[in-house]
Amino acid sequence: MANDKKVQSITDIEVDFAQWYTDVCRKAELVEYASVKGFTILRPYGYAIWENMQSIMDAEFKKTGHVNVAMPVLIPESLLKREGELVEGFAPECAWVTHGGGEKLEERLAFRPTSETMFCDHWSNILQSYRELPMLYNQWCSVIRWEKTTRPFLRSREFWWQEGHTIHETAEEAIAETEQQLNCYADFYENVLAIPVVKGRKTDKEKFAGAEATYTVECMMKDRKALQGATSHYFGDKFSRAYDVTFTGRDNTIQYPHQTSWGSTTRMIGAVIMTHGDNNGLVLPPKIAPIQVIVLPIAQHKPGVLEGANALKDRLVKAGLRVKLDDSDNSMGWKCAEYEMKGVPLRVECGPRDLENNQCVLVRRHDGEKIAVSLDDLETAVQEQLVLIQKGMYDKAKENLTQHTYEAHSLEEAKKLQSENGGFIKTMWCGDVECEKRMKDEAGMSSRCMPLEQEHLGDVCPICGKPAKKMIYWGVAY
RNA sequence: CCGGGUGUGGCGAAGUUUGGUAUCGCGCUUGACUGGGGGUCAAGAGGCCGUGGGUUCAAGUCCCGCCACUCGGACCA
C-alpha cells in the first residue's frame, strides 16, 4: 500500500533517480529555475523548510554563545588573495564585479564564495586583548561559487547557508569548538532531519582550502551515493598570521588567535529529499515540515462537515502544531496527491461518516498507515503520531545506511562491492594520497571521511599493502 | 572546459526526414453537476515555433552563426 504509485507526474525513483529528484523539487514547489544558469528561486514552500531549519539551528548556536553578524557580499581581490591556499581553492570559482556605476573599478571585487577573509580582516581591526576572546560569530547569507554542473540544492552557483567563524585564545579551545559544532550538525541531522550520519575527519586531499583539519558529517542517499552534510574546520593560526589578527595575551605578548569555521547549507534540503522521498514525492520529517498536519474535509458541502473539520483544525493549532485545512473545490484524490507530493507528514481525513462516529482518520505519509482516532483524543493522538513518524523515518534511513556499508580488504573487493551495491565501503588506509587517487581512478570512489569511531579491520592498507594508519570510508559522492 | 541531446501557449509534447492555414494532453478562466485516492460536462482565454542572418512565391520545417537549457565526464557545500 505504501509503495503504490499515486502521483503520476513524478518519475519513478527506480527508473531515473536524477529525474525523480528534479521532479520532486519542482512538483513539491520547492524551487524554480531562475534566468541565470545555476541560480534558483526558493519558492515559499521551499523557503519555509529552510526557515524551520534555520530557526532550530540558530537557537542551538545561540545556546553555545554564538552571535549573528552580517558581512559584506563583496571582497576586494587583494584581501581574498592574502592566504595562498584559500585563493587556490576558491579563485577558480569566484564571480567578479569589475564595474560600478558604469566605470571600471580600480580593483575587481569577488562575490564572497566564503567569508573567512572578511572575518579575519574585521578581527584584525577590532581585536585587542585576550579578554575579548573567544569571538563566536555566525552569519546567515548566500554565497556564490561558479560551478560548472548545477542541480537544485545540491550544487548551485548561489546557495544559502550559515557560516560560523570563531577565534580563540588557544588551540585547544578552537579544536573543542570545531568538535562541538560538528556534533551540533550531527545532532541536527539525526534528531531534526531524521538522517543518520557518519562523523569523521576529511583526508588532506578532501579538506577545506587552507584548513588544518576538516571534520564532516557524511550521509547516504537512497541511491546509495554519499552526500557531505556539513563541515567544521580547524584553522590553527594560519589565517590569523596571513591576515595579521593579533591580541595581547595574558603574558603581555602579542599572539595569534586560533580559528574555526563551520557551515551548513540549503543542500540539507536536498539531503532530506534524497533520504526520505519516494515515488509519491517529498516526505518531510515533522520537525521541519512547514505543514505538519493537513486536514481534509470530505464531502465538505454536506452540512456540518466543514464546521467539524475547522473545529478539528483549530484544536490542533491551539496544541501548537503547524496545520492547514484545504477546503478548496479540488477532489479528494487531487488533495491527497498534492499533499503527498509536498511531503506533509500527517493527513487528517474528516468526513460525514467520521463526524457521525466522533472520529477522524490519520494517514501517515512515510508509510501510508491509516489510523482511526476518537475526536476525544485528537491532540494527543496527533502529537504521538508525529513523534512516531520522526522516529520511523530515522530508523528507515538508518537501515539503508547500515545495510549498504560494506567492508573490503582489497582494492578488487572494494571495486566489486561498489559496482554491485553502491554505498559506503570501509577499509583500512595507509594515509597516502596516492592510494586515495588510485581508489578514485579505479573504483570511482572518493574518500568520505576517517570516522571518529574507528574500527580495526586489519593491519595493512588494501591498496598498497603498507601498514595501515586509519579506517576510512569510501563512496561515490554528489 | 570536453562530448551527446533539446529549444514550439504556463508545463509536457507532436509536427522538421519530403517547406504549403499552429496541433494534442495537462494547467488556467466561467458555469453546472460532483466529492472516502489526481471527477464529469459545457463554454472560453492564451503561441511573431530560443535568437540573428540567409535560401524561397512561401520557413516551425532547409543552410550558417549565436544563445540557453539538459545529460554524461573533469572540478566542487
- Provide ipTM, 2 decimals: 0.85
Q: What is the pTM for the complete model shown?
A: 0.95
Angle between helices A411-421 and A433-443 (to 10 degrees): 40
pLDDT digits (tens, 9 = 90+) for A354-367: 999 999 999 999 99
What's the CATH number for A293-387?
Answer: 3.40.50.800
**Is pLDDT at A37 greater than 80 in this prediction?**
no
**Does the fold of domain A405-475 match that of domain A17-73+116-276?**
no
Please report the pLDDT score of residue A1 as a whole number. 27
| Distance measured from the CA of protein residue A52 to the C1' of nucleotide B12, in angstroms | 33
**CA atoms of A234 and A258, how far apart (whole Å):** 8
| Distance measured from the CA of protein residue A152 to the C1' of nucleotide B68, in angstroms | 17
A164 grid coordinates:
560560523
**Is pLDDT at A7 greater than 70 in this prediction?**
no
Cβ-contact A202, A429 below 8 angstroms? no
| Residue where the block lists cell 536524477 | A18
Q: What secondary structure, in 3-state letters, does A357-417 show?
A: CCEEEEEECCCCCEEEEEHHHHHHHHHHHHHHHHHHHHHHHHHHHHHCEEECCCHHHHHHH
Evaluate the omega torsion of the peptide bond into residue A134 and state whether it is cis, within 30 degrees of 0: yes
Nucleotide nearest to A263 (CA to C1'): B77
Residues β-bridged to residue A258: A168
Provide the phi-psi class of A236: left if phi over 0, else alpha when psi is between -120 and 50, else beta: left
Q: Which strand B bases fall within 7 angstroms of a protein CB?
A: 1, 33-39, 68-77
Nucleotide nearest to A339 (CA to C1'): B38
What's the CATH number for A17-73+116-276?
Answer: 3.30.930.10
Provide the phi-psi class of A52: left if phi over 0, else alpha when psi is between -120 and 50, else beta: alpha
pLDDT digits (tens, 9 = 90+) for A273-293: 999 999 999 999 999 999 999
| Distance measured from the CA of protein residue A22 to the C1' of nucleotide B16, in angstroms | 29
Nucleotide nearest to A372 (CA to C1'): B36
**CA atoms of A132 and A156, how far apart (whole Å):** 37
| Arithmetic mean of pLDDT, A369-375 | 96
A227 grid coordinates:
552526500
pLDDT digits (tens, 9 = 90+) for A170-202: 999 999 999 999 999 999 999 999 999 999 999
- Report the top-level CATH class of A405-475: alpha beta
Nucleotide nearest to A477 (CA to C1'): B76
Q: What secondary structure, in 3-state letters, does A298-357 show?
A: CCCCCCCHHHHHHHHHHHHHHCCCCEEECCCCCCHHHHHHHHHHCCCCEEEEECHHHHHC
Enumerate the domain spans of chain A.
Answer: 17-73+116-276, 293-387, 405-475
